[in-house]
Structure 1
């Protein structure tokens, strides 16, 4: 599913359920008709391409911080609330986790709705992707467009802001996710004004605010006077790639690999094949410890195994996968051979996103 670029698309995302296909045996596959096999393979491709979040320490910590911020919304206050910013390099799962937080929040709100409240009358979550080189008007038009609000040509940013705030109050919006927030360059006049407008929006809403962006700790967003004001009310959580230096680090990586391996719906794949010191080393070196790159590597290898009917992950199959460039850069950065990983690891659980 594409990034939810409208309220309608967001509602479809929240309602979407990823269905894990049954893990069939080779005999069961052989007994299928061609049409049945095609349908089963389509369900497997959909599963392997879905944004399934493994329950990690990062996810648990972020979920707790979001719940704390949401709890603070119960207070009667006249000052801006706290904001959570998720940062890190590309591919570590910032947007995926933020969208999962939004999905959980929306479900929690809707579960408490009175049966007489029309589902379409509220929008607990707004998800905004900041346009590059945003001006205040561009930013506010993007939010207005997302919620389906018509913006007359003559309205300026302040007018759009006023009307947007009014509509968001009507929709009972209580969480705003601002993705690609590193696109706000506060060291430039237009960017600083756009950041100021975003700050004004969040101050006028009783909503939990989640920012997502690349390398925010060193970004223009948190620099200068405007950056100082944003920093004063923002908790920053840095999502990092997995380390591999000590025994505890290697154990966490092994757990992640084992958790992802358990999700592979391949008839011939033997559980535990990837849970060895050699394969753990290999997978970490190939991905630089990136959870997104690991998911893509295993997913692509699994799809290839379905295409060629081998139905299992092999080292040659993994070698043949072309990685994303962020993973290639990570591989180059961590080119030294790591220490051996532990031979046993716990299986990680999964959490549905889209």
Structure 2
């Protein structure tokens, strides 16, 4: 049996090579084998096999959510309409507390936009087109810092003058977004933006660039960055998608949660795994995950480590 290891060359999504690697890192499920075949593998091959199923579980196996479907629909509409608007272009806010899967949802949206662009323009990368730009802001980040990240994503070798003004940075960022045909600008950890300057910069980007802005962060609509003052101007231009925990006390909530667990159950890459084990324990998994999909995924990963790597059987 030949198992090719997944090799990643970039540590962050905030560079073009790093983002494209993150968007394409979707390893296939390793071949199904019996526990006897697993134990017969050499130590080196067994280690590669374990890495392969861990990579598949972490990077490829995903479950559809109502928020994903809603966000995809909203984003597709904005990407079509924003280039036809002359100002007050629409954006999207993906908001939730910690450990709700906000960044993962944004990554799914980015992958969808990139793949759709690639279908329409197969030579887009060779032509220098960058349909998706991804930046992550740190605590108390300024508008100038945000613009600098956008510029360096699209022009990594550029040297920016130390005394450059915010207006000049904005003009350069907008020009680069236009030149590279950018459709989607993801601003992750957007709750770290503070004060009126970042909000005014984002509003200016929405006015001057046809790229659709997606803000991802913790409790954005009620936080310090966009919940009051000038930040409300950005909030009012964005459709808000909030990720919530699933309440299994309702029939709809229980059905959704069982569906999520069942998808993991059917696709769990364990030797001789009998689907149904996880699904029967859906209520217990809900309690352990507190109704949060991202925590459920972490629990499944740990179960893989506990049962998959040391025993090889779960059924």
TM-score, with structure 2 as normaliser: 0.90
Instruction: Choose from 11, 36, 55 the match for 2:20.
Output: 11
Contact 1:73 1:207 in 2 (8 A): yes
Partner of 1:85: 93
Supply the distance in 1 between the matched residues of 2:105 and 2:204 (Cα, whole angstroms).
Answer: 25
Supply the distance in 2 between the matched residues of 1:3 and 1:239 (Cα, whole angstroms).
Answer: 24
Structure 2 residue 303 is matched with structure 1 residue 301: yes
Which stretch of structure 1 is more off in the superposition, 118-127 or 77-86? 118-127
Deviation readout 1:28-49 (Å, 9 max, x if unpaired): 3244333332221121122233
Supply the distance in 2 between the matched residues of 1:310 and 1:111 (Cα, whole angstroms).
Answer: 40
Q: CA deviation at 1:138?
A: 1.8
Q: CA deviation at 1:310?
A: 4.2
Partner of 1:188: none
The structure-2 alpha-carbon separation of the partners of 1:150 and 1:103, relative to structure 1 and needing over 3 Å to count, comes to farther
Contact 1:131 1:139 in 2 (8 A): no
Contact 1:144 1:151 in 2 (8 A): no
Secondary structure, aligned partner of 2:267? coil
Supply the distance in 1 between the matched residues of 2:164 and 2:179 (Cα, whole angstroms).
Answer: 20
Supply the distance in 1 between the matched residues of 2:42 and 2:122 (Cα, whole angstroms).
Answer: 47
Partner of 1:132: 139
Q: CA deviation at 1:114?
A: 6.0
Structure 2 residue 264 is matched with structure 1 residue 257: no
Secondary structure, aligned partner of 1:50? helix
Deviation readout 1:26-72 (Å, 9 max, x if unpaired): 23324433333222112112223326431122211211111111221
The structure-2 alpha-carbon separation of the partners of 1:40 and 1:51, relative to structure 1 and needing over 3 Å to count, comes to closer
Partner of 1:336: none
Residues 62-141 of structure 1: matches in 2 within 5 Å? 62-75=71-84, 77-113=85-121, 115=123, 119=126, 121-141=128-148
Structure 1 residue runs of 5 or longer lacking an equivalent are 186-190, 314-354
The structure-2 alpha-carbon separation of the partners of 1:71 and 1:173, relative to structure 1 and needing over 3 Å to count, comes to same
TM-score, with structure 1 as normaliser: 0.80
Supply the distance in 2 between the matched residues of 1:163 and 1:52 (Cα, whole angstroms).
Answer: 39
Deviation readout 1:209-255 (Å, 9 max, x if unpaired): 21111112321223333133113211111110111112221111111
Contact 1:174 1:205 in 2 (8 A): no
Supply the distance in 1 between the matched residues of 2:283 and 2:203 (Cα, whole angstroms).
Answer: 44
Contact 2:26 2:59 in 1 (8 A): no
Residues 1-354 of structure 1: matches in 2 within 5 Å? 2-50=11-59, 52-75=61-84, 77-113=85-121, 115=123, 119=126, 121-147=128-154, 148=156, 149-185=158-194, 191-276=195-280, 279-312=281-314
Q: CA deviation at 1:152?
A: 2.1
Tell me which stretches of 4 or more aligned residues in structure 1 moved more than 3 Å.
Answer: none
Q: CA deviation at 1:311?
A: 2.6
Aligned residues: 304
Supply the distance in 2 between the matched residues of 1:166 and 1:184 (Cα, whole angstroms).
Answer: 23
Supply the distance in 2 between the matched residues of 1:175 and 1:14 (Cα, whole angstroms).
Answer: 14
Please report the RMSD computed on the Cα atoms of aligned residues, expressed in angstroms: 1.9
Supply the distance in 2 between the matched residues of 1:99 and 1:110 (Cα, whole angstroms).
Answer: 16
Q: CA deviation at 1:184?
A: 1.6
Partner of 1:323: none
Supply the distance in 1 between the matched residues of 2:168 and 2:87 (Cα, whole angstroms).
Answer: 22
Structure 2 residue runs of 5 or longer lacking an equivalent are 1-7
